[in-house]
Amino acid sequence: MFSDRAADMVLRARRREYDGWLIVGIVFLSSALSIGTSNYAFGLYVEPLEETFGWTRTEILASLSFWAIGSLTAPLLGRFMDNYGARPLLVGTMALFGVSLVLRPMMTELWHFYALSFLQFFAFSGMNMLPAGRLVGLWFPKSKGRAMGFATMGNNFGGLTVPILTGYLLAVATWGSAFVVTGILSFAVALLATLFVHERTTQRVASSQGSESSTATTGLVGLTVKEALRSDAFYYVTAATALGSFTYSALLPQISTHLLDQGTEDASVVTLLSLLAAFGMAGKGTFGYLAERFTARIAMMLSLGGQALLISVIVAYPVGIHLWVVVPIFGFFFGAYGVLMTLLLQENFGLKYFGSIAGLSGLVVMIPAFAGPLMAGASFDYLGSYGPAFLAVVALFVTAILLLTRVKPPMQRLAELSQE
């Protein structure tokens, strides 16, 4: 394949002591574009699309329901990654994501918008969770919590930068131009992945990261898919992460619009979103470390609890100076969720079949992916506010915490048996 030959030429032409961090940096960028565009910046397109096409909020927000397609394709993409590696998956999905964006100025009908959203979310899991889980696990087996925290900081970096870029382009150009620029950036990341991403950890220089330099792809350990499906932990973890995923479908895309509707000024909302994203980056690093020290399960419970408390405050008091404290701290707990989803799966099921297991677990995420935007849209259209939908999500987070109290990691039990 061309990508293999190109990567081999680049690898031979340069020193490779820091390949792990370079690869994690590319995953960082892919997450930044995919999450920043699909979640953080989405709300900025709502009013321009309303004005251009006359679509209702429910019709526009329904496009986010195609996130469910990403859940359906995740097992296929995960199996593909287990068999062929993370690079072809990352390159292909970033390219498809770019295509789904650059074609949007040509839209004239609502079904065009839905068709391109289908392409966008078809590729979604292949741009962030799946390659991040495999590549970080391969290159940083002893410090994967912190490394995963850095890789998934891209989600929040995208939230910090993509809305600013989008807002600027909407002000000086058109919504179509904003989509095209983001699509071109996606193609650029696909090119970087083609040239630099690989999994040949055994070829690294021995002094680059100490004991981690000896890691090889053939040394992966973990449960098989069949073993995972036979464990109670799989179903508790799957249900809890599905409920927690309402934060992406029902909260994040609507929070900026909610604050605007409740009377917060446009400039303040943009700044608050940037602070949310910045504190989310800090949350990923902090909770990645906490997952190493106290388990990903406990860290996830803390993340969900913090989100539930703070979103309740935002609903109860949607306007005021307190938002400059509440929204960033919400971002701190919210940001942790992205890294903890992956670490929770690795903690329970290992890395050997991570792609397939994560894909199957992600199937259930189609429920919040489909229901979240519709729930938020209906809340606004029929009740006049996103607040009731946000409070429903709070109840779901509490349920997820209760489910996580039931989890007993199968990998931990296997390790204990092997030591007897």
CA distances from 134 to 114, 123, 130, 358 (A): 31, 17, 6, 11
Which of 373, 281, 289, 368 is closest to 43 using CA atoms? Answer: 373
pTM: 0.73
Higher-scoring residue by pLDDT: 23, 209: 23
User: Could you tell me the CA-to-CA distances from 232 to 62, 228, 349, 404, 414 in Å, in that order?
Assistant: 33, 8, 12, 11, 14
Q: Flag whether pLDDT at 16 surpasses 70.
A: no
Determine, yes or no, domain membership for 208: no
Assigned domain for 245 exists: yes
In a domain, residue 145? The reply is yes
Question: Per residue in 41-55, pLDDT tens?
Answer: 888 888 898 888 888
Structural domains in the chain (count): 1
334-371 b/e (C-beta count within 10 Å ≥ 16 → b): bbbbbbbbbbbbbbbbbbbbbbbbbbbbbbbbbbbbbb
CA distance 95 to 100: 9
Tell me if 191 is assigned to some domain: yes
Partnered with residue 222 across adjacent β-strands are 350
Residue-level pLDDT at 13: 46
Tell me if 81 sits within 8 A of 131, measured CB to CB: yes
Which residue has better confidence, 212 or 338? 338
Contacts of 171 (CB under 8 A, 6+ apart): none
For 139-148, write each residue's pLDDT tens digit: 887 777 888 8
Q: Please say if the pLDDT value at position 236 is more than 90.
A: yes
In a domain? residue 305: yes
Encoded tokens for 4: 């293999």
The pLDDT, as a whole number, for residue 4 is 57
Domain harbouring 396, CATH code: 1.20.1250.20
| Domain interval for residue 160 | 2-198+219-419
Determine the average pLDDT of the residues in 383-405: 92
- Of the candidates 312, 313, 279, the one whose C-alpha atom is nearest the C-alpha of residue 396 is 312
Instruction: Assign 7 a pLDDT band (cuts: 50, 70, 90).
Output: low
Backbone angles phi, psi at 345, to 5 degrees: -65, -45
In terms of pLDDT, which residue wins out, 10 or 340? 340
Residue 203 placed within a domain: no
Residue 313 has what pLDDT?
92
Segment of 158-162, 226-230, 349-353 carrying the highest mean pLDDT: 226-230
Do residues 242 and 55 touch, judged by C-beta distance below 8 A? no
Are 12 and 96 within 8 A, CB to CB?
Answer: no
**149-158, 203-212, 221-230, 358-367: range with lowest mean pLDDT:** 203-212
At 234, the pLDDT band (50, 70, 90 cuts) reads very high
